[in-house]
Structure 1
Amino acid sequence: MAENPTAGLTQEEDEEEVDYDSDGNPIAPTTKKIILPLPPIDHSEIDYPPFEKNFYIEHEELSSLTEAGVVELRKKLNLKVSGAVPPKPATSFAHFGFDEQLMHQIRKSEYTQPTPIQCQGVPIALGGRDMIGIAKTGSGKTAAFIWPMLVHIMDQKELEQGEGPIAVIVCPTRELCQQIHSECKRFGKVYGLRSVAVYGGGSMWEQAKALQEGAEIVVCTPGRLIDHVKKKATSLQRVTYLVFDEADRMFDMGFGTCEILVHLTSDLWSLTALLFSATFRKKIEKLARDILVDPIRVVQGDIGEANEDVTQIVEVLQSGQEKWGWLTRRLVEFTSAGSVLVFVTKKTNCEELATNLNQEGYSLGLLHGDMDQSERNKVIADFKKKNLPVLVATDVAARGLDIPSIRTVVNYDVARDIDTHTHRIGRTGRAGEKGVAYTLLTTKDTSFAGDLVRNLEGANQSVSKDLMDLAMQNPWFRKSRFKGGKGKKLNIGGGGLGYRERPGLGSEPTVSLALRLLA
């Protein structure tokens, strides 16, 4: 206090007051706070020791549960779960395998049985898998990431003088920050673990002092953590467990969560990362895709945006020449079910395919970017009226085309990226109607195959052996599968996120995560 007599009494100059609505939710400011980037760091020069992150052993009661029993149990718990090989939901604290110290504190805190999000989320986090948890406040998600976090921390090497935290929990507001910090202290004291709350409006000096003394857990708002890293009050090199809580609100409030990511630790492939959100909007999906590896998505309650009315079928063909035969053999069957939309990538391919189909006697419309608006409008109107049963189009039709009569989408050429693919297949399965989306891949599409596997798993769709075999031919997908690329360090500098060259594997293109997320 002698050094800083105003500690805790005044609002920091660089902080903005946050207003709250009648429900206590933060109101998004009209102008977003600009957070200057952190200094670049080259992780390839740092030797990160290996660590264990899978502590989950399936209880014998769960091992005997059949697949049908699991489906019924999730239905009873009102859970929608998708992703690669998710663990079975654990319905009892005994299933988690916690030691008596932690169980004593859980009982003392008056928990009688796990909530639905805890039933599914705790086994995922204990197993070291990445997770997207979509659940509203009051669902018990805080404990779902704190309990596995304690198990994770206790297995890591003890903090040495000057080292930063092992676990970082990022949230949008100081109130939520204090609330989570309180829970971390309550359960962390069982093992003598230290937690520090770092948020705007609190004293920088006091927070810095607590960080420098050492804490295994940091609960923070992103802007204030970035400030402390800049001032070298802490380091993120020991972080192996990362949580983003209420990520949708952080984006609404304009916080630069990506800045923490590009300065993070070791290796996002081996990090345990959990992202919680009340919604699953595009920005959340983009963040999730960049920081999570083979995540399991858990939706608790009647929220989320997964379209279960579209069935995706992927056909792996040996060459592009086989596509024509595949399409002409099935087009009559497709048109008998309803309107058909066929996507191709380039305008010239679009015209060529339309001409060939016309010559075969099919009635169809053509839509691409070089047509003037009146031509486009006429084609779309005829397609809507079902005067044209088939529409061959480029990606100008991928967004915004709302025609409930479309029963079949055919991706004759693969989309340029997985976002466009998602928009394409969304042209069917609208207004409660069922739809089917076919995607034609050739043996050259190894890179897209990996993205498609994750897209299908995220939508709870089946992945064929042919597709998985094709995806496994891609070194990046093969190494990252279930975080198999352990020890593959990130090489981050100047706010970009990229991968180092690995002998015999080449490298993936650098992704400027900060620019992409802030765009």
Structure 2
Amino acid sequence: QTLLFTATWPINLDAFSRELTEMPVRVTITRFKSRRFPEPARTIDHVVSVTTDEARAQLFLELITQAHKGLNNKVLVFTKTKSSADYVTELLHIEGYTYAGCMHGDKTQEERGEALEKFIQHKRAILVATDVAARGLDVEDVAVVINYELPQSADTYVHRVGRTGRAGRAGVAFSIATPGDQMIAPKLVQILQSANAAVPPELIDIAERAHRKRKERNKKTKAKIKAKTVAKAIARA
């Protein structure tokens, strides 16, 4: 027997698994109705705040203060880029969170190991990481995940927030969204609605703008294809 464990399951894997294995069976712990978008664990509370790029850092510090109200709260912070991870870590150190660690691809193996060890050993710890650096990270008692920057895909969002709320425990995922997050906004709205979480009106506006842009792009693409088809038909005539 072969067992595969994953937080998300792309729809094309169904057909692929039938090609490679005999009588494959899929077992899920969430309602597998979400063919259009992945679904995180039901034990996670999702809180999304919409702001501007300029106000992102200030909002983040407010979230950190809120997240550290509990004495034993471990907080995992995700950023899109290595430079953002360095910036956030430095910001935390300036604000007095000197125990905050950082993991990204430019860190040496020793530096990443030290940061992870601190995060595991200390009950009240903060770790700032990029998606690549945090791949395979499994720490049991992460109370809070903060998306300093949202990822571009819904799958990555689910993998990020899945670092909390593990094994039936409660967890909280804070996310900072800006008008530039149009790629993930439509799916994020669906994820929040599925989780019965509050959906900020500003996030809905971002999602609707993204939808309109996508429709306009599709319309232009269809027009170009039609024009090429007509041109070829005229040329053959």
Q: TM-score range by the shorter chain?
A: 0.7 to 0.9
Q: How many Å apart are 1:501 and its aligned residue?
A: 2.0
Q: How many Å apart are 1:477 and its aligned residue?
A: 7.8
One-letter amino acid of the counterpart of residue 400, structure 1: G
Match status 1:311 vs 2:45: yes
- Whether contact under 8 Å (1:310, 1:436) holds in the other structure is yes
- Whether contact under 8 Å (1:365, 1:388) holds in the other structure is no
The correspondence for 1:446, drawn from 164, 178, 182, is 182
Distance in 2, matches of 1:368 and 1:285, equals 35
One-letter amino acid of the counterpart of residue 251, structure 1: F
**Structure 2 vs 1, CA of residues 440 and 248 (structure 1 numbering), >3 Å: closer, same or farther?**
closer
Look up the match of 2:76: 341
Look up the match of 1:401: 137
Q: How many Å apart are 1:387 and its aligned residue?
A: 6.2
Structure-to-structure mapping, 1:286-435, within 5 angstroms: 288-289=35-36, 306-317=40-51, 319-337=52-70, 338-363=73-98, 364-386=100-122, 389-435=125-171
- Whether contact under 8 Å (2:40, 2:158) holds in the other structure is no
**Structure 2 vs 1, CA of residues 375 and 446 (structure 1 numbering), >3 Å: closer, same or farther?**
same
One-letter amino acid of the counterpart of residue 336, structure 1: K
**Structure 2 vs 1, CA of residues 368 and 306 (structure 1 numbering), >3 Å: closer, same or farther?**
closer
One-letter amino acid of the counterpart of residue 341, structure 1: L
**Structure 2 vs 1, CA of residues 404 and 336 (structure 1 numbering), >3 Å: closer, same or farther?**
farther
- Whether contact under 8 Å (2:145, 2:174) holds in the other structure is yes
Distance in 2, matches of 1:451 and 1:468, equals 11
- Whether contact under 8 Å (1:472, 1:478) holds in the other structure is no
One-letter amino acid of the counterpart of residue 362, structure 1: Y
Distance in 1, matches of 2:43 and 2:184, equals 23
Distance in 2, matches of 1:356 and 1:462, equals 29
One-letter amino acid of the counterpart of residue 178, structure 2: T
Structure-to-structure mapping, 1:45-444, within 5 angstroms: 250-254=15-19, 278-279=26-27, 288-289=35-36, 306-317=40-51, 319-337=52-70, 338-363=73-98, 364-386=100-122, 389-444=125-180
- Whether contact under 8 Å (1:339, 1:405) holds in the other structure is yes
Question: Deviations 1:277-307 (Å, cap 9, x if unpaired)?
Answer: 85459xx999x33xxxxx8x9xxxxxxx751
Match status 1:501 vs 2:228: no
Question: Deviations 1:47-105 (Å, cap 9, x if unpaired)?
Answer: xxxxxxxxxxxxxxxxxxxxxxxxxxxxxxxxxxxxxxxxxxxxxxxxxxxxxxxxxxx
Distance in 1, matches of 2:167 and 2:211, equals 40
Q: How many Å apart are 1:391 and its aligned residue?
A: 1.0
Match status 1:456 vs 2:192: yes
**Structure 2 vs 1, CA of residues 477 and 464 (structure 1 numbering), >3 Å: closer, same or farther?**
farther
Where 2:191 maps in the other structure, the secondary structure is helix
Where 1:349 maps in the other structure, the secondary structure is helix
Look up the match of 1:155: none
In structure 2, stretches of 5+ residues that fail to align are 3-10, 225-237
Q: How many Å apart are 1:335 and its aligned residue?
A: 1.8
Q: How many Å apart are 1:461 and its aligned residue?
A: 3.4
Q: How many Å apart are 1:386 and its aligned residue?
A: 1.5
Question: Deviations 1:438-468 (Å, cap 9, x if unpaired)?
Answer: 1111122223211211232344434232221
Q: How many Å apart are 1:254 and its aligned residue?
A: 1.3
Distance in 2, matches of 1:374 and 1:431, equals 30
- Whether contact under 8 Å (1:366, 1:392) holds in the other structure is yes
- Whether contact under 8 Å (1:404, 1:433) holds in the other structure is no
Look up the match of 2:232: none
Q: How many Å apart are 1:339 and its aligned residue?
A: 0.7
One-letter amino acid of the counterpart of residue 501, structure 1: K
Equivalent pairs, count: 207
Larger radius of gyration: 1
**Structure 2 vs 1, CA of residues 345 and 359 (structure 1 numbering), >3 Å: closer, same or farther?**
same
In structure 1, stretches of 5+ residues that fail to align are 1-26, 29-243, 256-276, 290-294, 298-304, 480-487, 489-497, 507-519
Q: Identity percentage over the alignment?
A: 31
Look up the match of 1:3: none
Q: How many Å apart are 1:425 and its aligned residue?
A: 0.5
**Structure 2 vs 1, CA of residues 313 and 378 (structure 1 numbering), >3 Å: closer, same or farther?**
same
Question: Deviations 1:150-200 (Å, cap 9, x if unpaired)?
Answer: xxxxxxxxxxxxxxxxxxxxxxxxxxxxxxxxxxxxxxxxxxxxxxxxxxx
Distance in 1, matches of 2:135 and 2:178, equals 25
Where 1:351 maps in the other structure, the secondary structure is helix
Q: How many Å apart are 1:390 and its aligned residue?
A: 1.0
Normalised by the size of structure 1, how large is the TM-score?
0.35
RMSD: 3.6
**Structure 2 vs 1, CA of residues 312 and 380 (structure 1 numbering), >3 Å: closer, same or farther?**
same
Where 2:140 maps in the other structure, the secondary structure is coil
Q: How many Å apart are 1:311 and its aligned residue?
A: 0.9
Distance in 1, matches of 2:167 and 2:193, equals 23
